[in-house]
A and B are shown apart, each in its own frame.
Chain A
Amino acid sequence: MSAIAEFFVGLGPRGRSLLPPRVHGTLRIDLVDQDCTSHWYVDMTAADRVLVTRDSRPADAVLTTTHRLLERLVCGDQSAIAALLRNEATFAGDTRLILAFRRFFPSPAGTRDPREVARQHALHGQAWRERLQTRIS
C-alpha cells in the first residue's frame, strides 16, 4: 500500500479523536499530476470516526496539490501551511477544515520528544530541585 493510502486508511476512529468535536464537514483532496486527477474524500461529519473514500463529490473545502507533495505531508516531512503559502498547494472553501485536517499529519521522521532531548543535556526533576534548594538556602 502506498504511504498516502496507508495514511487515509489509518484515520478512522483515531482521526476523529484528533479533531475538536465542533469540527464538522467534508474535505476533498484533488491530486493533479500531469493530465490525471485523483481524489480523496475525507468525511469529518460523524462523531466517532473519519470516513475516507475516493469520491469526487462536492465538499465544504477542497485542497488541490500534487501526489508528490501529499506524500511529503503524510510522512511529516513538509508543513501544509508553508506549502499553501508558496502556492504548491491551493485551497478553496472553508479554511477551518483544512487547518483541522492538518492535525492528522505526523511529526517529521526521526523527531525526538523535546523533553527527552532537554533532559539529556540539563539537570531535571529531583536533581534540579535539590541543586536549587542548596543554592537558595
Chain B
Amino acid sequence: MLDGNTFLVCDDTGDIDASRKVPTGLFSYDTRFLSNWRLSINGERLHALSVDDVRYFETRFFLVPGEPTHYVDAKVSVIRNRTIGGSFTEDLAVLNHADHEVDLTVRLDMASDFADIFEIKNPQSKKATVSATVEEKKLRLRYRRDRFHRETVISTSADAQIDSGGMTFRIRVPGQSEWQTQLRVQTLVLGAHERDFRDSLELRHVRNPDELDEQLREWMAAAPRLSCDSLDIVSTYRRSLADLAALRYSSITMAAELVAAGLPWFMTVFGRDSIFTCLQALPFTPQLTPTTLGTLAYGQGSRIDDFRDEEPGKILHELRYGESAGFAEQSHSPYYGAADSTPLFVILLDEYERWTGDDTLVRAYEFEARAALSWIDTYGDLLDTGYIWYQTRNPDTGLANQCWKDSWDSISYRDGRLPPFPRATCEQQGYAYDAKMRGARLARLYWNDPAFAERLEREAAELKDRFNREFWIADGEYYALALDADGGQVDALSSNIGHLLWSGIVDESRAGRIAELLLGDRLFSGWGVRTLATDCARYNPVGYHVGTVWPFDNSIIAWGLWRYGYRREAATICEAMFDAARHFQGRLPEAFAGYPRVRTRSPVQYPTACSPQAWSAGTPLLLLRVMLGLEPHDEHLIIDPEVPAGIGRVELLDIPGRWGKIDALGRSRTPDDDSEQATSRNGAGALTEGRRGA
C-alpha cells in the first residue's frame, strides 16, 4: 500500500512487527515512522479472514481473535480499514456478534525506531534515542539527532488510556453492535521553526482518499484506451497504469509529480530508472517527463566531489532524504555514481520533443543538455579513449558497477573472472552514440547551432566506427560486455547487446547476428532474455544480474529489435513478457528467474525482487508501442504493427502527441495474411488511421 514515497508494509492481519531486518513498517522520506503496530483483543492477537486491496492507497482487513483452529466460534470480529494519503489513517471497528453486551480490552501497541532505510538493509545502532510523550488523545514519538528531527504523531478519535508503548481501549459493546475509533498517524519531517518542511515549501502533501481517487480516475482517463482480444493484456495494461499512478510523488524541486523507482527499497528518485520509465511511458503518460527532466536538471552535478562521485555535468543516480544521507554516512545527497544517466538525460529530452512537440522544454534545458554532452567527452572518458568509463572514488559506500547492472559481480569475463577498474560497458557507449545523434538534432532544430550539430554527428560516426572495431569479439561474433583498463575485452555474452540495437550503434551487417543471439537458447529462456548467457561461468538463473530475466531490459531489447526491422523477434519477446505478466496477475516484478521455460510452468519469482517497480510497470507500455510499431515522424505518428500470433486484435485509442490524438490498430497475422504479403506491404493488418483532433 503506498502513495508516492509514503508506504506501508505489514503482515496479513495489518500488524507491523518489525525486527530491524524485516522491512515492515510505515515509511516516508526514507525513514521508518512506525516499526510496531500490533492489535490484540483481551490479550489475544488476531487472525485474518480476508484482506481486500480496495485501491492502491486503501486496504481492508477482516479479522477474528485467536488462532485459526478456534475462530469458528468467534463472537467478535474486527474490520481495519486503512488509507494512505499524506498521513496514514486506520478506521478500527470491533463488532460484537453475540446478542448480549460484552466488555473488551482492545490494545494497540505502537512504537517507532525511526530507522533509516539503509539501516534496515545493513543493521546498525541508532545515534540518538526515541522519546514518547502522551498528550490529550495523542501519542507523540520523537527522534532527534542534533537538528535532525522526525516525529510520529498518533491520534485517536475515541477515548483511550495512552502510555508510551501504545493505546488501550476498555470498551463495552452492546449485543449485535459495534465500537469504532479512527486512528491517524502523521509522519513529520521537521525543519525550520519546528514546522514540517513541506509546509515551508507549500508542497501539497496531504491528499485525502477522495482526492486520490479522483486523481487516479483522471490519470487513467488521460491515458490511451486499450481494447484487445486478450483480456489479460488489457488487465496488465491497467495494472501498469495504476502502479505508475501509485508510484508518483511530489518532486521537492519541481513541486510536481515524479515517479519513484520501486517498492520497498527504491522509493526515491533514481536518474536511470526515472528516465527509462519516462521513455517507456511517453506514448501513454507524457506528463511524467517534464518533472523528471526538471528534477534531474536542477540536481545536475556542478563540482568534483569524490565522496558522491560527482562531476560537472553529470546527472544524478540516487537521492535520499534520510538521516544517513544528511550526516554523510551514505553518499546519497545526491549520489552521482552512474555513468549512463547523463547520456540518457539527453535521449529522454529528445524523445520527449519528438512525441509532444514541446520545444519550450528542449530550449529551457539547453544549458544542462550541453553540459551533459560535454561530460561524455570529458569526465566520462576517464582513460582518454573515446569511451565512457566508470570507477568509483568512494570505496566505502560508492557503487562498484555504475551501469544498470549495478551489483558487484554483474560484469565478468566468460570464465567468471572480474575485470579491473575502470570499466567501459558496451551499452553505455551505445547511449553515448544515441545522445550525440539526438543532441545534434536538438542543436540544429532548437539551439540554433548547426556547427555543434555537425560536430556531434561526426563524433557519433567516429564512435560507432571505433566501437564496432574494438568491442566486436571476432570468434564469438558478438559485442563484448565491456572493455577493461588493461586493453582487454570482457567477453561474456549478455543482454546488454540488445540495448545496442536500441541505440543504433550496431552495424547493419551485424544486427541479424545479434537478433539471432538474443533469441537463441543461451540468452532466451522462453519467458524473456536473460541478463547473462547460460554458458558464462557466473550464470545463475537466480543471480540478480547474472541470469535472471528483467522485464525492463526486455522492453528495451524489443524496442531495439524493432528499430533494426526484426519485428517478428520483437514480437516474440512481447508475447513472452505478456505471458509472464499473466502469471504475476498483470504486475511484472523487477526480475524473475532465468530457468528455461520448458522446466517451469510459470516464471519463478526472484526472492527479493521489488514490486511494484516503475520500469517493470513501464514495460507493458513500451511493449504495446513496439507491437503497434509506433514512431513519431515530424508531425505524424507512424503506425506499423507486428502483433504476435495468438494475441489477435489490439487497438490503442487516443494516443496523445503533437498530432493531437490518434488511434492505432493492429492484429496478429493469419495464414491468409502471409499469402497476401506478396501484394500488399500492409497485408499484416497494419491499419493506419489518419490524423484526427490535431
Q: List the interface of chain A (C-beta within 8 A of B).
A: 18-22, 64, 76, 79, 81-88, 90-93, 95-96, 99-100, 102-103, 105-108, 111-115, 117-119, 122-125, 128-132, 134-136
Provide the residues of chain A in CB contact with B333, threshold 8 Å. Answer: 79, 81-82, 85
- Please measure, in the bound complex, the distance between the C-alpha atom of A31 and the C-alpha atom of B160, giving whole angstroms: 45
Q: Nearest 4 pairs between A and B by C-beta?
A: A86-B326, A131-B487, A85-B326, A20-B367
Other than the known A87-B326, A128-B383, what 10 A-B pairs have Cβ atoms closer than 8 Å? A22-B367, A79-B305, A96-B254, A115-B378, A115-B384, A118-B383, A118-B389, A122-B420, A124-B383, A135-B488
| Beta-carbon contact of B364 and A22 below 8 Å | yes
Nearest CB on B from A62, distance (A): 9
- Please measure, in the bound complex, the distance between the C-alpha atom of A123 and the C-alpha atom of B485, giving whole angstroms: 6
Provide the residues of chain B in CB contact with A118, threshold 8 Å. Answer: 382-383, 389, 391, 422
| Beta-carbon contact of A125 and B384 below 8 Å | yes
| Beta-carbon contact of A95 and B385 below 8 Å | no
Given contacts A90-B191, A115-B384, A124-B384, contact A85 B487 (CB under 8 A): no
- Please measure, in the bound complex, the distance between the C-alpha atom of A37 and the C-alpha atom of B471, giving whole angstroms: 60
Nearest CB on A from B142, distance (A): 14
- Nearest residue (CB) in A for B190 is A87
- Please measure, in the bound complex, the distance between the C-alpha atom of A113 and the C-alpha atom of B310, giving whole angstroms: 11
| Beta-carbon contact of B305 and A107 below 8 Å | yes
Given contacts A79-B305, A99-B299, contact A132 B326 (CB under 8 A): no
| Beta-carbon contact of B385 and A124 below 8 Å | yes
User: 1/0 per position for B364-394, CB-CB distance to A under 8 A?
Assistant: 1101100000000011011111000101010
Given contacts A79-B308, A107-B303, contact A132 B321 (CB under 8 A): no
In B300-349, which residues have CB < 8 Å from any A CB? 302-306, 308, 311, 319, 321-323, 325-328, 333-334
| Beta-carbon contact of B201 and A86 below 8 Å | no
| Beta-carbon contact of A87 and B148 below 8 Å | yes
Q: Report the number of A-B residue pairs with Cβ-Cβ less than 8 Å.
A: 146
Answer yes or no: B219 CB below 8 A from chain A CBs.
no
Partner of B328, one of A79, A113, A122, A132: A79
Nearest CB on B from A65, distance (A): 10
Answer yes or no: B489 CB below 8 A from chain A CBs.
yes
Provide the residues of chain A in CB contact with B323, threshold 8 Å. Answer: 86
Nearest CB on B from A8, distance (A): 17
Provide the residues of chain A in CB contact with B190, threshold 8 Å. Answer: 87
| Beta-carbon contact of B488 and A123 below 8 Å | no
Given contacts A105-B303, A107-B304, A123-B485, contact A132 B470 (CB under 8 A): yes
- Nearest residue (CB) in B for A93 is B201
| Beta-carbon contact of B304 and A102 below 8 Å | no
- Nearest residue (CB) in B for A137 is B474
Query: Which of the listed residues A81, A86, A105, A135 has the most CB atoms from chain B within 10 Å of its own CB?
Result: A86
- Nearest residue (CB) in B for A20 is B367
Partner of A111, one of B253, B305, B488: B305
- Nearest residue (CB) in B for A76 is B303
- Please measure, in the bound complex, the distance between the C-alpha atom of A74 and the C-alpha atom of B572, giving whole angstroms: 56
Nearest CB on B from A7, distance (A): 13
Provide the residues of chain A in CB contact with B384, threshold 8 Å. Answer: 115, 119, 124-125, 128
| Beta-carbon contact of A103 and B302 below 8 Å | yes
Provide the residues of chain B in CB contact with A88, threshold 8 Å. Answer: 146-147
User: 1/0 per position for B123-141, CB-CB distance to A under 8 A?
Assistant: 0000000000000000000
Answer yes or no: B221 CB below 8 A from chain A CBs.
no
| Beta-carbon contact of A86 and B146 below 8 Å | yes
Provide the residues of chain A in CB contact with B489, threshold 8 Å. Answer: 132, 135-136
In B186-229, which residues have CB < 8 Å from any A CB? 190-192, 197, 200-201
- Nearest residue (CB) in A for B145 is A86
| Beta-carbon contact of A92 and B192 below 8 Å | yes
Answer yes or no: B486 CB below 8 A from chain A CBs.
yes
Provide the residues of chain A in CB contact with B200, threshold 8 Å. Answer: 90-92
- Nearest residue (CB) in A for B301 is A103
Answer yes or no: B149 CB below 8 A from chain A CBs.
yes
- Nearest residue (CB) in A for B367 is A20
Nearest CB on B from A137, distance (A): 9
Given contacts A22-B367, A87-B149, A136-B489, contact A95 B201 (CB under 8 A): yes
Nearest CB on A from B444, distance (A): 19
| Beta-carbon contact of B252 and A95 below 8 Å | yes
- Nearest residue (CB) in B for A99 is B298
Nearest CB on A from B194, distance (A): 10
Nearest CB on B from A53, distance (A): 23
In B345-371, which residues have CB < 8 Å from any A CB? 364-365, 367-368
| Beta-carbon contact of A132 and B303 below 8 Å | no
- Nearest residue (CB) in A for B199 is A92
Provide the residues of chain A in CB contact with B311, threshold 8 Å. Answer: 114
- Please measure, in the bound complex, the distance between the C-alpha atom of A130 and the C-alpha atom of B487, giving whole angstroms: 8
Answer yes or no: B261 CB below 8 A from chain A CBs.
no
- Please measure, in the bound complex, the distance between the C-alpha atom of A135 and the C-alpha atom of B490, giving whole angstroms: 12
Given contacts A76-B303, A114-B304, A114-B393, contact A128 B385 (CB under 8 A): yes
| Beta-carbon contact of B201 and A92 below 8 Å | yes
| Beta-carbon contact of B382 and A115 below 8 Å | yes
- Please measure, in the bound complex, the distance between the C-alpha atom of A130 and the C-alpha atom of B325, giving whole angstroms: 43
| Beta-carbon contact of B368 and A20 below 8 Å | yes
Answer yes or no: B463 CB below 8 A from chain A CBs.
no
| Beta-carbon contact of B253 and A99 below 8 Å | yes
Provide the residues of chain A in CB contact with B304, threshold 8 Å. Answer: 107, 111-114
A to B CB contacts below 8 Å, 19 in the list: A76-B305, A79-B333, A81-B319, A81-B333, A81-B334, A82-B325, A82-B327, A85-B326, A86-B146, A88-B146, A95-B298, A105-B302, A107-B304, A114-B304, A118-B382, A119-B383, A124-B383, A128-B383, A131-B487
| Beta-carbon contact of A87 and B147 below 8 Å | yes
Provide the residues of chain B in CB contact with A135, threshold 8 Å. Answer: 487-489
- Please measure, in the bound complex, the distance between the C-alpha atom of A50 and the C-alpha atom of B308, giving whole angstroms: 28
Answer yes or no: B483 CB below 8 A from chain A CBs.
yes
- Nearest residue (CB) in B for A106 is B303
Provide the residues of chain A in CB contact with B367, threshold 8 Å. Answer: 19-22
- Please measure, in the bound complex, the distance between the C-alpha atom of A76 and the C-alpha atom of B474, giving whole angstroms: 48
- Please measure, in the bound complex, the distance between the C-alpha atom of A103 and the C-alpha atom of B313, giving whole angstroms: 11
